[in-house]
Amino acid sequence: MDYNFIVIEGNIGAGKTSLSHKIAEECNAKLILEQFAENPFLPKFYKDPEKYSFPLEMSFLADRYNQLKKELSERDLFKSFTISDYYFMKSLIFSKQTLQDDEYSLYRQFFHIIYNSLPKPDLYVYLHSDVDRLLGNIKTRGREYEQEISEDYLEKIQESYFEFFKQQRDLKFLVIDTNNIDFVNNEEDYQKLLDTIFKTKCEKGLNRVIL
């Protein structure tokens, strides 16, 4: 195993949590899942983004930092590696779309103060899906507070991810186009995705694969 810490990321509805679960189970990995469902500001934000964007993003920042700091500092000797369905930089990507310029400027200061204190992933996997497919996945899983998410919002989040990847040179980013596979319900597609993650030779910076 070349990796001790792998992040599986993606836009809302990309299947990152489902994939993280499957890999953790099959590979005996320690699993870290984002605890977003417990955030009291999330349903309020989807109904009134302008009012609740700053408290939402600040609460996510604190929650993500506390969870990752705790989980990544506690090594499980009985697990082969650690896999997470999010990473701390997600806070900066989402907040850019939800905060006003002055709020975002303040938020960035808090972010960078604590970002460098966290361990960095050995591989950052991004599951890319078209927005139409994301919307279909969101509708299928039926979380009530997510049904208000717009196509425009998903497109902006997607653009922010790719803009961020292009600016980073110190991490290995593996962007996998999953539009043509169903790794959740099709075992052959899942194995194909698994092989891509663990067998692709990635350089630092942006690496792309289409499945």
Residues with catalytic roles: 85
| Nearest-angstrom CA–CA distance, 124 and 84 | 10
The DSSP letter of residue 125 is: E
Q: In the chain, what is the straight-line distance between the N-terminal and C-terminal CA atoms, in Å?
A: 23
Closest CA to 157 of 72, 92, 94: 94
Q: How far apart are CA 20 and CA 125, in angstroms?
A: 11
Round to whole Å and give the CA distance between 7 and 79: 16
